Chain A
């Protein structure tokens, strides 16, 4: 059992939790993920590591309430326990030798992008961050990004905060003005990453994306997280849990990943409704 040391509501749909898991905290690096089960009957879900404190022995996760399991997790409070918490899994984001990087975060993907921005910033790399949200209500981690970046662009789809538009707008402006980077790292919804890759491509700047497919064991056993890379005209199958989660954005087959991600959509929607009803009953 793993204790919830701290819980913080970041916005109506996004929660941050610090979990006591000393072994995971000792090894965690930005870009890696954990797998958790809320209770004994729960499903295994992967969540990317948002932060870690090696001394306190805690690992932070930030999650959006999108389904039954995240709803259940959100119902847990400080001092309570979750059943299983295993990691750190996957390969850490490569930061070595990078001098100037643009980090693009979308929605809850910003939670994953932040530790990478912080690490790069700490290593003396010049970080430009572009973070985007649907609207002001959903904004998270603005101050933290500001502290880790030389330049920060905040975008909202509806213009309710920062600039109106998606994350590609400032990217394209920067490129048009001749700005260049060693690498662009994009983390967010698949559709956002697909568009960022398309926006970066004409510049030839390397573009890394963080994939978060459906997973079960997370240790390279089940193969459910497989995705296709297109490299030199060949299709290559990779496993996000052990080969990723970071991949070369130019190679990732986003359309296939989006299709596979929606495999259980009906089941998930149903399970979410059931869970909400159940939790509501418990509260009444």
Chain B
């Protein structure tokens, strides 16, 4: 057996230089070469008790796939990952590995953990470049299931059920499948060709993807049952964006992150010849500290902004975004205005000339400095405003990335579907079962804005429960 690589550091991820990538929409991280992947794989000690697996929401058999890399059997590694994950090329790119699998890695006790995410991405990309093999599916079992939404939760659920021989139909409201992977996460972090490839793989497995169908409007969940679907998974994702409720949020130049990112990603407003407009250039403030805020800030920069700020009311330590994204954003020159909270968005008003074309456009954002006070019920120190510390940030565009509330269309048209105070669908956590028999749910539609991988975990759990439910009916 080859000797393990005892280097304390991960092999660094080759990336585009910050000053170059800040001006293009191409992928930032370039991926490991075969040599680097082998070298990194050798850092894995193949622990018997596999602590890393317990940190993975979809339980990828991590040491097993890494062993295959060590053997140089990259396709074999892919088959191990694809047994439990339907979207390996996506997860390798967007999972917050530092708080999941890699946080449990014994190599991380002294030094850096094994670069599991980077290895996963390497394997998936190798497969996509070298092999057209479609994951095996069991023979058709004659049962039909419907999946609402083609985001990470829906695609995962669809993939798992297709593997078990179900006839799966995925209904997507937008014109392209992929959900947040397509409209939300930017090209430079997750190339759309990769998402398309994952969707194509599902199609090759026999999954039928129907775009332009809004469940709750075009068809209801009751009608899906009438049409012969035996179980339904609702992964309809994030709904209406939250705003701060401060004066000035209706000025022109104030976007929700969903709108800003949808214009750029889904509608391709970042291109030179867009048909969907977006405000480009100038000075931009992005409010919030999650992955979506990082995506919006880095998108604004690439659209040609001369200055981009992240305005976040807590400190660096509490920033919920994936560490790598924060580092990338900082390297690219985005300025973090931490412990600051917006109190008002200012706009141009010319009372003398109502027809002045500048009227109603954003001119700045008034903020107040914050300090961390007593911990709240979750143990996070609560930010408290410092009286008299208001100041104005000179900006033309404000992007609000402070989360979303679940979409109202399904709950308002589905009888007997219980939702919580915030509008999230109530489910049994282990199975995704809702208050309606045969209806399962997961992802942001249940939790409000969360991560791709937690949505995938929910899709996976629901697929298993739906399988048990349908097979149980037969028995």
Q: Using CB atoms and an 8 Å cutoff, list the residues of chain A in contact with chain B.
A: 23-24, 27, 37, 41-44, 68-69, 83-89, 216-217, 219-224, 226-228, 237, 239, 242, 253, 256, 259-260, 262-265, 267-268, 271
Query: Does any Cβ of A come within 8 Å of B243's Cβ?
Result: yes
Give Cα A42 to B409, complex, Å: 25
Most chain B Cβ neighbours within 10 Å, of A37, A41, A217, A260: A217
Give Cα A41 to B237, complex, Å: 25
Tell me the minimal C-beta distance from A40 to chain B in angstroms. 9
Interface contact A216-B240, CB-CB below 8 Å: no
From known contacts A24-B218, A27-B217, A242-B240, infer whether A219 and B258 are also in contact, taking CB-CB under 8 Å. no
Tell me the minimal C-beta distance from A35 to chain B in angstroms. 9
Give Cα A222 to B407, complex, Å: 11
Query: Does any Cβ of A come within 8 Å of B259's Cβ?
Result: yes
Residues of chain B contacted by A264 (CB below 8 angstroms): 277
From known contacts A217-B173, A260-B252, infer whether A89 and B262 are also in contact, taking CB-CB under 8 Å. no
A242: nearest chain-B partner, CB-CB = B408
Tell me the minimal C-beta distance from A59 to chain B in angstroms. 12
Tell me the minimal C-beta distance from A218 to chain B in angstroms. 8
Give Cα A228 to B248, complex, Å: 11
Residues of chain A contacted by B256 (CB below 8 angstroms): 222-224
Interface contact B175-A83, CB-CB below 8 Å: yes
Interface contact A237-B249, CB-CB below 8 Å: yes
Residues of chain B contacted by A219 (CB below 8 angstroms): 173-174, 214, 217, 407, 409
Interface contact B218-A222, CB-CB below 8 Å: no
Most chain A Cβ neighbours within 10 Å, of B241, B250, B253: B250
For the complex with contacts A221-B237, A264-B277, 6 further pairs of A-B residues with Cβ separation under 8 Å are: A27-B217, A220-B408, A221-B240, A228-B250, A262-B252, A267-B277
Query: Does any Cβ of A come within 8 Å of B95's Cβ?
Result: no
Give Cα A237 to B256, complex, Å: 13
Interface contact A23-B240, CB-CB below 8 Å: no
Interface contact A89-B217, CB-CB below 8 Å: yes
A–B pairs, 14, beta carbons within 8 Å: A84-B211, A86-B173, A88-B217, A217-B262, A220-B408, A221-B183, A221-B237, A221-B404, A222-B241, A223-B256, A223-B259, A228-B250, A237-B250, A271-B275
Residues of chain B contacted by A222 (CB below 8 angstroms): 241, 256, 258-259, 262
B212: nearest chain-A partner, CB-CB = A86
Give Cα A264 to B276, complex, Å: 10
Tell me the minimal C-beta distance from B104 to chain A in angstroms. 35
A68: nearest chain-B partner, CB-CB = B275
A42: nearest chain-B partner, CB-CB = B275
Contact of A43 among B173, B253, B267, B360 (CB under 8 A): B267
Contact of B214 among A37, A41, A69, A86 (CB under 8 A): A86
A-B CB proximity, top 4 nearest: A259-B360, A223-B256, A222-B259, A223-B241
- Majority secondary structure, B binding face: loop
Most chain A Cβ neighbours within 10 Å, of B253, B262, B263: B262
Residues of chain B contacted by A89 (CB below 8 angstroms): 214, 217
Contact of B250 among A43, A68, A221, A256 (CB under 8 A): A256
Residues of chain A contacted by B174 (CB below 8 angstroms): 217, 219
Query: Does any Cβ of A come within 8 Å of B91's Cβ?
Result: no
Residues of chain A contacted by B217 (CB below 8 angstroms): 27, 87-89, 219
A259: nearest chain-B partner, CB-CB = B360
Interface contact A216-B276, CB-CB below 8 Å: yes
Query: Does any Cβ of A come within 8 Å of B117's Cβ?
Result: no
- Majority secondary structure, A binding face: mixed
Interface contact B275-A69, CB-CB below 8 Å: yes
Total interface residues on B, using CB and 8 Å? 40
Residues of chain B contacted by A256 (CB below 8 angstroms): 250, 360
Interface contact B219-A23, CB-CB below 8 Å: yes
Interface contact B277-A216, CB-CB below 8 Å: no
Tell me the minimal C-beta distance from B351 to chain A in angstroms. 12
Give Cα A112 to B217, complex, Å: 19
Interface contact B263-A216, CB-CB below 8 Å: yes
B253: nearest chain-A partner, CB-CB = A263
Query: Does any Cβ of A come within 8 Å of B359's Cβ?
Result: yes
Taken residue by residue from 237 to 273, chain B's Cβ proximity to chain A (1 for < 8 Å, 0 otherwise) reads as 1111101000001101101101100110011100000
Tell me the minimal C-beta distance from A252 to chain B in angstroms. 12
Give Cα A223 to B403, complex, Å: 12
Interface contact B277-A84, CB-CB below 8 Å: no
Residues of chain A contacted by B249 (CB below 8 angstroms): 237
Give Cα A37 to B174, complex, Å: 11
Most chain B Cβ neighbours within 10 Å, of A23, A41, A44, A219: A219
Interface contact B218-A226, CB-CB below 8 Å: no
Give Cα A42 to B218, complex, Å: 22
Tell me the minimal C-beta distance from A85 to chain B in angstroms. 7
From known contacts A44-B267, A84-B211, infer whether A224 and B275 are also in contact, taking CB-CB under 8 Å. no
Give Cα A220 to B216, complex, Å: 12
Give Cα A44 to B418, complex, Å: 32
Give Cα A242 to B214, complex, Å: 12
Give Cα A69 to B277, complex, Å: 13
Interface contact B212-A85, CB-CB below 8 Å: yes
Interface contact A260-B259, CB-CB below 8 Å: no
Interface contact B218-A27, CB-CB below 8 Å: yes
Query: Does any Cβ of A come within 8 Å of B80's Cβ?
Result: no
B242: nearest chain-A partner, CB-CB = A223
Query: Does any Cβ of A come within 8 Å of B343's Cβ?
Result: no
From known contacts A42-B275, A87-B217, infer whether A220 and B407 are also in contact, taking CB-CB under 8 Å. yes
Tell me the minimal C-beta distance from A70 to chain B in angstroms. 12
Interface contact A223-B218, CB-CB below 8 Å: no
Residues of chain B contacted by A42 (CB below 8 angstroms): 275
Interface contact B214-A216, CB-CB below 8 Å: no
Most chain A Cβ neighbours within 10 Å, of B211, B249, B276: B276
A38: nearest chain-B partner, CB-CB = B275
Interface contact B175-A84, CB-CB below 8 Å: yes
Interface contact B275-A239, CB-CB below 8 Å: no
Query: Does any Cβ of A come within 8 Å of B213's Cβ?
Result: yes
B250: nearest chain-A partner, CB-CB = A256
Interface contact A220-B277, CB-CB below 8 Å: no
Tell me the minimal C-beta distance from A114 to chain B in angstroms. 22
Interface contact B218-A88, CB-CB below 8 Å: yes
Residues of chain B contacted by A43 (CB below 8 angstroms): 267, 275-276
Interface contact A221-B214, CB-CB below 8 Å: no
